[in-house]
A and B are shown apart, each in its own frame.
Chain A
Amino acid sequence: MVAKYVVLIVLNGIVLSGITAMIEQKAWGLMAGVLISIIALDVVYFSPRRFIPGKYLVPGTIFLVFFAVFPVIYTLYISFTNYGTGNILSKPTAVTTIQLSSLEPPTATSKTYGLQVMAEGGVTGPIAFFLTDPATSTEELGLLDGLQPVDPAKVKRDADRVTGYGDYVSLNLSQANDRTVIIEAFAVPTGNGTAIRAEGFRKARELRQRLQFDSAADTMTDTVTGTVYRPKDGYFVSEAGEQLTPGWRTVIGLGNFQKVFNDPNIRDPFIRVFIWTFLFALLSVVVTFTLGLLLAMVFNSPKMKLKPMYRSLVIIPYALPSFMTALVWKGMLNDTFGVVNRYLDTLFGITVPWLSDPFWAKVSLLLVNLWLGFPYMFLICTGALQGIPTDLTEAARVDGATGAKAFRKVTFPLLLVAVSPLLISSFAFNFNNFNLVKLLTNGGPPFSGGSSAGQTDILISYTYNLAFGSARGADYGLASAISVFIFIVVAAISAISFKFTRTFEEVK
Chain B
Amino acid sequence: MSVVTESDAPPIAPPPGRIIGGPGRFVRWFSDTGWRHVVALLTLAFALFPVLWVISGSFTDGNLSSQTLIPKNPTLDNYRKLLTDPGHPPYWSWFKNSMIVGVATSLLTVALAAAAAFAFSRLRFKGRRPGLLALLLIQMFPAMLAMTALYLLMLTLKNIYPAIGLGTIWGLILIYLGGALGVNTWLMKGFFDTIPIELDESAKVDGATHAEIYFKIVLPLAAPVLAVIGLLSFINTQAEYLLASIMLRGSEQKMTLAVGLNQYISQGFDSQWGPFAAGALIGAIPVVVLFLFLQRFIVSGLTAGAVKG
Contacts and interface: CB of A to CB of B under 8 A. Distances in A.
Do A and B actually bind? yes
B283 A324 contact: yes
A494 B270 CA distance: 43
A56 interface: yes
A237 B262 CA distance: 44
A383 interface: yes
Contacts of A310: 40, 43-44
Contact of A331 (B8, B123, B142, B269): B269
Contacts of B177: 63, 67
Interface stretch (B18-26, B80-88, B222-230, B301-309): B301-309
A435 B241 contact: yes
Nearest to A380: B299
Contacts of A38: none
A384 to B, nearest CB: 11
A150 to B, nearest CB: 26
Nearest to A459: B145
Given A53-B119, A312-B292, A63 B44 contact: no
B160 A63 contact: no
Nearest to A434: B242
B53 A67 contact: no
Contacts of B265: 327, 330-331
Nearest to B238: A321
Interface in B260-309: 261-262, 265, 269-270, 273, 276-277, 280, 283-284, 287-288, 291-292, 295, 299-300, 304-309
Given A67-B177, A299-B40, A483-B147, A72 B33 contact: no
A463 B147 contact: yes
Interface in B178-192: 178-182, 185
A379 B294 CA distance: 14
B288 A319 contact: yes
B280 A327 contact: yes
B12 interface: yes
Contact of B241 (A78, A404, A429, A434): A434
Given A64-B178, A324-B280, A339 B305 contact: no
Interface centre among A339, A407, A494 (most CB of B within 10 A): A339
Interface string A327-351: 1111110101111001000000000
B148 A304 contact: no
B215 to A, nearest CB: 11
Given A323-B241, A394-B13, A421-B305, A486 B145 contact: yes
Interface of B: 5-6, 8-14, 32-33, 36-37, 39-40, 43-44, 46-48, 50-51, 53-54, 57, 63-65, 67, 69, 112-113, 115-116, 118-119, 123, 125, 128-129, 131-133, 135-136, 138-153, 156-157, 159-161, 174-175, 177-182, 185, 193, 210, 214, 235, 238-239, 241-242, 245-246, 249, 257-258, 261-262, 265, 269-270, 273, 276-277, 280, 283-284, 287-288, 291-292, 295, 299-300, 304-309
5 contacts: A57-B131, A68-B143, A316-B51, A317-B50, A434-B242
Given A63-B181, A327-B265, 13 more contacts: A18-B160, A53-B119, A56-B116, A57-B119, A64-B138, A71-B149, A75-B149, A323-B257, A328-B277, A422-B305, A476-B148, A490-B141, A507-B129
